Structure 1
């Protein structure tokens, strides 16, 4: 049985404390800061810390059942112990930490049973009910997939390279990867590595973007010379893909309500060599009205529950609730109604989410089409987590002439 050093254990403890109790910070930002603060840790130590940190977040509810109590600021070490005993990895006797008892945990592990499906898949009870209501019997298969670790997928920046060339360039930097069938610009890392330290990243040869997310840019059917609006651009992963598909010709207007995200997009665009992107912060309704009937293509990557990407963001299931989902559904419908006016007659738009709930996806599109005679559905695609990559929904809609 492998040992885990005390300083790593303390690092994991402090990171979990931040994520669960100190302003409920985002896990990816917490682990990034932890690893930056401990640059002397070797690559294997960093890998162990990241794995245990994310696994405990992912399996929090199940571990609480083994512990016999909920997560509290004072029992994070007990949660780590429960994880180590359950997985039989990285276990070290915890005598140096007062009050840690493992007898109850071991008794529950020997029984090898859990009281509810929510505990089995480590999700809140309300979420288990919502998933079963919306997905039926297949919800368990999807939750099983969402509890797996996400692969690292890169998108080759075709303004500068190809997927085949990127595999070769990364191999020269001791990063093993391979192309993915039916995803022309995607490559997958053979094992997790910090690709942001590579020359290939600094030279703008790729972006980290899941394979399912890459489908959206392809479905939008953009061409050189078009005017394209990315209405919920965020930090611009899909915007940059659209720029590459358009070969830097035409215009992309990237909009978001958060100016700091657009600032990050500008930095990424400069590195990628994407010159046809203009950013506009949505400060009021006039920003949208000025674009009415001005775009050939529109991307609405709508705010959503994020339930399709729990593989890479497991902490989000502890940060949302049913009220949040109800609110976000109203926001989605409002965004569809308001932003759809941006498309020219004869133009096309995509409504997309990284959710797996029909109420956020096809049901939203059905409601929109019912209330707007001038639009028709061309194609929709649902990608479920059990298929291997992130869960996504995308609908291609045309504004009739």
Structure 2
């Protein structure tokens, strides 16, 4: 591979914003890709994937480069040189790469790779927490899997098309996909491509959604005609899936504390042809109280550490703090206590997270079931999804049923 100066500058500029100013990688990359209209898909892919790669392995690369935050521009070029050298890319004769110790880089890589926190490029506290919650053996395999680049997975919108028809249309666009065993409406791209430019996306034939995430709506056992409440709907990936499973029949009420996310859901619902979704921003407790004992099904896709989705959000490793996890666990239990009251007698509830930590998952459900409100529910089943087992995101989901009066 030959390095091009303008693409490398874009990478350095992006890394400066992410590593020094704490900007979100996906937002920075989105902006950078608009920088030069002449860039083709390969150029854009280089910028995006190189930035994600360096952010993902930040601890390892900065250790090898012997630089510490805050990183000046020379430091970031040193980190870039480490990335390129370890990938066997010949460094051009640019001033930024003068005196790059090629042999030392490889030696340091071999040495540091013997220690998990460097090899997997994670903070000490996160490594300790992973071992404590999952055990040494499982954590070692799980964090390695969470450091792999995520596949692009589509969920077919069955309100508008079939899996076979979508495969055929994408094939005509030069995008090859394959079905995934055990995932009803999922298609995996054989090679990465910008699917958002396709007519199929514009017509609402699919959404991009990880395979593990697609299991959550199915876990809720929805049927056409039901009244369903998605309590932490966000921009509505799972809400839209519920609409397709319900064949647009019945009612879905999508709640969230962020009105801007619900506005995005409205736009997506229109494109998807999902007409049975009503959005309600939670501006006061009255919004939730009005729904007490009304819903056949309730989804609580709870806020969490997001450790199960590190493959697509590698910068989260550096933003996450142990105090946040402690706080979010309190919030999770509060949400379970409050939103469980929306379920009517005989109805069902799914509590889900995109975390792999038992303390955010099964332990939260166990705590809830021993509480006063939780005693009205029975545990039906749960599913813990680990990335190193499936190859997809880490997730948890538990199905509870409210006892009949």
1:350 aligns to what SS in structure 2? strand
The question of whether the paired residues in 1 share the 8 Å contact of 2:85 and 2:105 is answered with: no
Spell out structure 1 runs of 4+ moving beyond 4 A: none
Structure 2 CA distance for aligned equivalents of residues 66 and 93 of structure 1: 20
How far does residue 182 in structure 1 lie from its aligned partner after superposition?
1.2
- CA deviation map 1:77-96 (0-9, x unaligned): 1111111112213x423533
How far does residue 238 in structure 1 lie from its aligned partner after superposition?
0.2
Structure 1 CA distance for aligned equivalents of residues 277 and 351 of structure 2: 20
Structure 1 CA distance for aligned equivalents of residues 68 and 58 of structure 2: 9
The question of whether the paired residues in 1 share the 8 Å contact of 2:60 and 2:118 is answered with: yes
Structure 2 CA distance for aligned equivalents of residues 343 and 180 of structure 1: 33
The question of whether the paired residues in 2 share the 8 Å contact of 1:163 and 1:184 is answered with: no
Structure 2 CA distance for aligned equivalents of residues 176 and 38 of structure 1: 27
Match of 2:151 in 1: 151
Structure 2 CA distance for aligned equivalents of residues 173 and 396 of structure 1: 40
Equivalent positions of 1:80-119 (< 5 A) are 80-89=80-89, 91-93=90-92, 95-97=94-96, 101-103=99-101, 106-110=103-107, 112-114=110-112, 116-119=115-118
Whether 2:297 is the aligned partner of 1:305: answer no
Distance 1:361 1:10, change over 3 A: same
Match of 1:272 in 2: 272
Match of 2:379 in 1: 377
TM-score (norm 1): 0.96
Match of 2:31 in 1: 33
What RMSD, in angstroms, separates the aligned Cα atoms of the two structures?
1.2
Structure 2 CA distance for aligned equivalents of residues 325 and 251 of structure 1: 34
Distance 1:94 1:326, change over 3 A: farther
The question of whether the paired residues in 2 share the 8 Å contact of 1:62 and 1:120 is answered with: yes
Structure 2 CA distance for aligned equivalents of residues 224 and 384 of structure 1: 31
Equivalent positions of 1:354-393 (< 5 A) are 354-371=354-371, 372-386=374-388, 387-393=390-396
Structure 2 CA distance for aligned equivalents of residues 153 and 203 of structure 1: 18
- CA deviation map 1:195-251 (0-9, x unaligned): 000000000000000110010111100001100000000000000000000000000
User: Aligned pair count?
Assistant: 396
Structure 1 CA distance for aligned equivalents of residues 117 and 298 of structure 2: 38
Match of 1:191 in 2: 191
How far does residue 71 in structure 1 lie from its aligned partner after superposition?
4.0
Match of 1:70 in 2: 68
Equivalent positions of 1:146-225 (< 5 A) are 146-225=146-225
The question of whether the paired residues in 1 share the 8 Å contact of 2:20 and 2:69 is answered with: no
Structure 1 CA distance for aligned equivalents of residues 278 and 29 of structure 2: 32
Whether 2:44 is the aligned partner of 1:46: answer yes
The question of whether the paired residues in 1 share the 8 Å contact of 2:225 and 2:249 is answered with: yes
Q: What runs of 5+ residues in structure 1 fail to find an aligned partner?
A: none
